[in-house]
């Protein structure tokens, strides 16, 4: 097996940090096991690739927030020498990054933090995938939709193979909503005097989106997230996923979504 090019490793590392890492914050709010792991804790965990992307989790008792970039006062700094090492860690390998700061927080790092990582694996790849109760299914859909939206924005901003598609994407906001009552989130392109910005939000109310993609129900969303349903095909049929509004924005967003799925398969 040949190693992947550095550019591909950097892109996947950015996706892990910007689209998968924030799901740990989601779990700390929604899952009792993950919530128990952070209860009463106060620290900032920084993950960063040398000369590459970085992100952090800010933990303040039962409030956990995800941020992109380097935190000015991280309690724990975990440095990966290459993006490949970070990718291998997220893929489940026993990779030990360099601990640059945070020796006093080692008990939390070695005992409580892995609980959140294990719960994320449970819902995304483990037995949670086969759960049939409505509460677990909705949580899995929420995690998957959040990852999809953030992954789409990351790819639009950073994937050199889709640079022309990103340039051709019209400015505006696409709302993706699971009927009848969520979860929902947005994918946006904003053009300012400082350049172009792609971003995603999750669960934040929005007024007057430029385009909408509505997924028929939770079961359809679950099939989409699990790779059992092709979004472009479902949109074409018009039964399971309906669209309206700025169609070029939806078209380009669908390409970013497809690319996200392919990258995460590798």
Span 24-71, pLDDT tens digits: 999 999 999 999 999 999 999 999 999 999 999 999 987 899 999 999
Number of domains in the chain: 2
Same domain, 149 and 244: yes
The reply to whether the predicted model has a pTM over 0.85 is yes
- C-alpha distances in Å from residue 191, one per residue of 167, 171, 248: 10, 7, 16
Kindly report the CATH number assigned to the domain that includes residue 171: 3.30.1050.10
Span 66-125, pLDDT tens digits: 999 999 999 999 999 999 999 999 988 888 899 888 888 888 888 889 999 999 999 998
- Nearest alpha-carbon partner for 226 in 183, 254, 264, 200: 264
User: Rounded to an integer, what distance in angstroms lies between the CA atom of residue 264 and that of residue 252?
Assistant: 19
Cα–chain-centroid distance for residue 119? 15
H-run or E-run covering 195: strand 195-202
Give the number of C-alpha atoms closer than 13 A to the C-alpha of residue 166, restricted to the C-beta side: 22
Contact 34, 24 (CB under 8 A): yes
Q: Give start and end residues of each alpha helix (H) in 102-200.
A: 106-107, 113-124, 134-158, 163-168
User: Rounded to an integer, what distance in angstroms lies between the CA atom of residue 85 and that of residue 13?
Assistant: 9
- C-alpha distances in Å from residue 204, one per residue of 137, 187, 257, 260, 265: 21, 12, 20, 22, 28
Same domain, 95 and 159: no
- Asked if the structure places residue 1 within a domain, the reply is no
Q: Which residues contact 138 (CB under 8 A, 6 or more apart)?
A: 183, 218
Residue range of the domain that includes 181:
133-265
Span 138-185, pLDDT tens digits: 999 999 999 999 999 999 999 999 999 999 999 999 999 999 999 999
Same domain, 95 and 35: yes
């Amino acid at each position: 097996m040949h190693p992947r090019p550095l550019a591909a490793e950097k892109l996947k590392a950015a996706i892990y940090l910007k689209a998968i890492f924030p799901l740990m914050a989601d779990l700390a709010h929604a899952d009792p096991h993950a919530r128990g792991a952070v209860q009463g804790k106060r620290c900032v965990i920084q993950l960063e690739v040398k000369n590459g992307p970085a992100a952090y989790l800010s933990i303040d008792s039962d409030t956990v927030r995800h941020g992109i970039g380097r935190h000015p006062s991280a309690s724990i700094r975990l440095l990966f020498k290459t993006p490949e090492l970070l990718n291998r860690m997220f893929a489940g390998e026993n990779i030990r990054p360099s601990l640059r700061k945070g020796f006093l927080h080692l008990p939390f790092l070695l005992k409580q933090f892995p609980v959140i990582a294990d719960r994320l694996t449970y819902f995304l790849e483990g037995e949670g995938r086969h759960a049939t109760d409505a509460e677990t299914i909705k949580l899995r859909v929420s995690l998957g939709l959040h990852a999809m939206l953030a992954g789409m924005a990351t790819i639009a901003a950073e994937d050199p193979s889709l640079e022309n598609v990103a340039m051709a994407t019209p400015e505006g906001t696409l709302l993706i909503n699971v009927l009848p009552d969520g979860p929902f989130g947005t994918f946006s392109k904003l053009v300012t005097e400082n350049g172009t910005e792609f971003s995603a939000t999750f669960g934040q109310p929005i007024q007057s989106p430029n385009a909408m993609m509505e997924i028929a129900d939770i079961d359809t969303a679950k099939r989409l997230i699990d790779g059992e349903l092709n979004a472009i095909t479902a949109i074409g049929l018009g039964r399971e996923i309906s669209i309206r509004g700025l169609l070029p924005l939806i078209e380009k967003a669908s390409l970013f979504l497809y690319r996200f799925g392919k990258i995460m398969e590798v």
